[in-house]
Amino acid sequence: MKKPYGAVAIKHKMVLKKMLEKGVSKEQAMKEVGYSDNYASHGNIIKSKTWPELMEEFLPDDLLSKVHREGLGATKSTKEFGEVEDYDARHKYLDSAYKLKKRYDNTITLKGGISQLSSREIEDAIAGEVSAALAALTGEE
């Protein structure tokens, strides 16, 4: 696998290391490596060209699969019931890793007449429907 190089890639690598080692948010990690507060809160580092390569280096699929399999049998000790499943803890880490690797598909496929509308036209139509519904509920028709 080709490793990312250059100043930007090195800085991205530092951000990712802080996120994984310290458990801080992407925004906090970006601030800690020198990004401005504004860029850290609005910049989208995960859309860069180097981010997917770093994800594969630090969070390879085989590691995610291993943790996922282990998570299926995770347990924790409780006073009331002894050993019980602890899927919540593992799920949080897996969820973050899958999101970072862009493994969730959040796309929406529009069909029919609505697919011909622009995003703005769809937003306006939704806003109109919501406004009408609120007006009906409050008696302000």
Domain count, the chain: 3
Cα–Cα dist 54/41, whole Å = 21
Residue 45 predicted with pLDDT over 70: yes
137's tokens: 């509920």
What is the Cα gyration radius of the chain?
Answer: 22
Cα–Cα dist 76/86, whole Å = 6
Same domain, 10 and 32: yes
pLDDT band at 14 (very low <50, low <70, confident <90, very high): very high
* 83 sits in which H/E element: strand 82-85
Q: How far is CA 57 from CA 35, 104, 132, in A?
A: 22, 19, 51
Same domain, 44 and 28: yes
Cα–Cα dist 31/25, whole Å = 10
The values of phi and psi at residue 105, to 5°, are -100, 105
The pLDDT tens digits for 106-135 are 777 888 888 888 888 888 888 888 888 888
Same domain, 87 and 46: no
Which residue do the tokens 């006073």 mark? 79
Q: What is the pLDDT of residue 32?
A: 95
Same domain, 6 and 50: yes
Q: Give me the domain span that covers residue 13.
A: 1-58
Same domain, 2 and 54: yes
Percent of the chain with pLDDT over 90: 17
Q: What is the pLDDT of residue 33?
A: 93
pLDDT band at 27 (very low <50, low <70, confident <90, very high): very high
Listed residue (47, 39, 28, 24) closest to 96, CA to CA: 24
